[in-house]
Amino acid sequence: MNKISNLPAHKARNLIGQKKISSTELVKSCIEQYEKHNSNVNAIVAFDKKDVLDQAKKCDEKVSKGDTLGLLHGLPVGIKDLQMVKNLRSTYGSLLFKDHIPKHDDNIIKNIREEGGIVFCKTNTPEFGAGANTKNRVYGATGNPFQFDLTSAGSSGGSAAALSLNMLSLATGTDYGGSLRTPASFCGVTGFRPSPGMVPSTEGIILNPFSVAGPMGRDVTDAYLLLQGIVDINNSDIFSSLNSFSLPADLMPSDLSSIKMAFSTDLGCAPVDNEIKKVFLKKIEVIKSCFNYTNNDHPNFLNIHDCFEVIRGFNYVASHLEKVKNNKELLGPNVIDNVERGLKYSMEDVTWAHQEQTKIYNNFRKFFENYDVLICPAASVSPFPHEQLFVEEINNEKLPTYMRWLALSYAPTMAIPCAWALPCGLDHKNLPFGIQLIAPAGNDAKLSEIALAIENALSNHEETKRAIPDIV
């Protein structure tokens, strides 16, 4: 554990600023990890070694000159392949864009560069982010760092796996129904789903507060550092005006003895493997005494499944209908399935879903009049073989759709939350286990302070501290 690439990003950034390590040294160490491990997991899918080393050299020159350094100066950042990077192959995981070389950076990439971050690579994703198994027909499947034939989940599975194996210091993700939170859980890393507008999202087709971009790292402080670097201070995102972006410069842990915590194994609506429920309750028991008050409770998510599927279908029809009409043979099953499901819904269905989503949102906000944070498992099952496209049954009960196993994360999404995914040791199969910390939108700073305090508490116990792959 003495490689430079193993350093937490925030510590590496400080050492670069102090001239104790160089950006080039850090980048070369990450490249070494990439060359050693990527063939096993297929996490990084587009990489320009010369460009990366050139970026590092320029970072070192700025340090030598005594220039003002950005928050992310000299840190290698992986970019999920849903976000466009100038002059670097960017495919959305789709055969439709398999040879696509963008001529501009997305806004989130511009922010990373402005803060001195090194755009290191593209990380793998399912086609257009559709699916919680990172697998596509352009690059293939991304394996799990703890067992290569298992999935890293999705859709930010490439970022999560690369971080877990220290190929990167930081990485971007996106999240709709758990696309950032589930991979973080499966790979033993940390991720944050911010409030809508906090981070500039990729240009969308319709007004959509459910899909957001967010930071990923190996601990809370690292992910928070990237969050600070990518905050949408230029109001480029359509929801930016809804946030004050009052993030403290230095993240300090909350005093958990003042925090009221609700916890739930299944949010009252999600199918969750019985063994995962047991694991979760054991993990919670370790830290319950830290809080001012705890209660087994959850918001009212009445009609959440139908509501989610209708709204998701509506969004997919808006974004991908023309692709299905004109290039169906080049698309994978998840995109086609979502569009075809969406086309079956009527205007009456869409109206009903938006009315129900409003009720869910209001119930969710009311719930947090009594609590500061809600904690639940980050995933409903253990990592499964990446050859398996999705989870078909839980507790011997067949699931009605390929998305249902994601209810633990898509239920809160419909309430427009902010949410952290934290590693929390291993599960009953000795595979990574994660928890979600959830709060209403606009509570990003407070929830981050709570997350740091909980991470500190978890790290004090062998059964709840972050697990690290044996091969690192």
Any residues with CB less than 8 A from the CB of 410 and at least 6 apart, and which? 176, 177, 178, 304, 308, 312, 403
Closest CA to 214 of 261, 240, 181: 181
8 A C-beta contact, residue 107 and residue 237: yes
Give the Å distances, CA to CA, from 207 to 193, 323, 384. 18, 20, 34
Q: Return the structure tokens found at 430.
A: 């000795």
pLDDT tens-digit readout, 178-208: 999 999 999 999 999 999 989 987 655 566 7
Strand 118-123 to strand 293-296: parallel, antiparallel, or no bridges (unpaired)? unpaired
Average of pLDDT values for 400-415? 96
| CA–CA gap between residue 180 and residue 233 (Å, rounded) | 22
Strand 373-377 to strand 260-263: parallel, antiparallel, or no bridges (unpaired)? parallel
pLDDT above 70: residue 214: yes
pLDDT above 70: residue 2: no
The number of angstroms, rounded, from the C-alpha of 215 to the middle of its chain's C-alpha atoms is: 7
Share of the chain above pLDDT 70, in %: 97
Q: Return the structure tokens found at 55.
A: 């970026």
pLDDT tens-digit readout, 81-110: 999 999 999 999 999 999 999 999 999 999
Share of the chain above pLDDT 90, in %: 93
What is the Cα Rg of the chain in Å?
21
Q: Return the structure tokens found at 446.
A: 């407070």
| CA–CA gap between residue 103 and residue 90 (Å, rounded) | 10
Q: Write the secondary structure of the chain as one string of H (helix), E (strand) and C (coil).
A: CCCHHHCCHHHHHHHHHCCCCCHHHHHHHHHHHHHHHHHHHCCEEECCHHHHHHHHHHHHHHHHHCCCCCCCCCCEEEEECCCCCCCCCCCCCCHHHCCCCCCCCCHHHHHHHHCCCEEEEEECCCHHHCCCCCEECCCEECEECCEEEEECCCCCHHHHHHHHCCCCCEEEEEECCCCCHHHHHHHCCEEEECCCCCCCCCCCCCCCCCCEEEEEECCHHHHHHHHHHHCCCCCCCCCHHHCCCCCCCCCCCCCHHHCEEEECCCCCCCCCCHHHHHHHHHHHHHHHHHCCEEEECCCCCCCHHHHHHHHHHHHHHHHHHHHHHHHHHHCCHHHHHHHHHHHCCCHHHHHHHHHHHHHHHHHHHHHCCCCCEEEEECCCCCCCECCCCCCCEECCEECCCCCHHHHHHHHHHCCCEEEEEEEEEECCCCCEEEEEEEEECCCHHHHHHHHHHHHHHHHCCCCCCCCCCCCC
End-to-end CA distance of the chain: 8
Domain boundaries, the chain: 4-459
Residue for token pair 């869910």: 360
Backbone angles phi, psi at 199, to 5 degrees: -120, 135
Give the Å distances, CA to CA, from 168 to 12, 30, 47. 12, 6, 12
Closest CA to 472 of 40, 25, 20, 27: 40
Give the Å distances, CA to CA, from 37 to 119, 239, 266. 19, 38, 35
Q: Sign of the C-alpha dihedral, residues 125, 33, 16, 113? A: negative
Range with the lowest mean pLDDT among 72-86, 105-119, 201-215, 253-267? 201-215
- What number does CATH give the domain 4-459? 3.90.1300.10
Strand 190-193 to strand 417-426: parallel, antiparallel, or no bridges (unpaired)? antiparallel
Q: Say which residue, 18 or 241, is predicted with more confidence.
A: 18
Closest CA to 305 of 226, 360, 344: 360
- Please list the residues that pair with 78 across neighbouring strands: 121, 171
Average of pLDDT values for 165-181? 97
Q: Please give the pLDDT value at position 205.
A: 54
What is the longest distance spanned by two Cα atoms in the chain? 63
Cα atoms in the 13 Å half-sphere on the side-chain side of 203 = 5
pLDDT tens-digit readout, 283-297: 999 999 999 999 999
Q: What band does 237 get if pLDDT is binned at 50, 70 and 90?
A: confident
Q: Look up the pTM and report it.
A: 0.97
Range with the lowest mean pLDDT among 24-28, 116-120, 387-391? 387-391
pLDDT tens-digit readout, 120-141: 999 999 999 998 999 999 999 9
Q: Please give the pLDDT value at position 203.
A: 57
Average of pLDDT values for 45-63? 98
Which amino acid is it at 44?
I
Q: Please give the pLDDT value at position 202.
A: 67
Closest CA to 173 of 231, 203, 217: 217
Average pLDDT, the chain: 95
pLDDT tens-digit readout, 342-400: 999 999 999 999 999 999 999 999 999 999 999 999 999 999 999 999 999 999 999 99
pLDDT above 50: residue 1: no
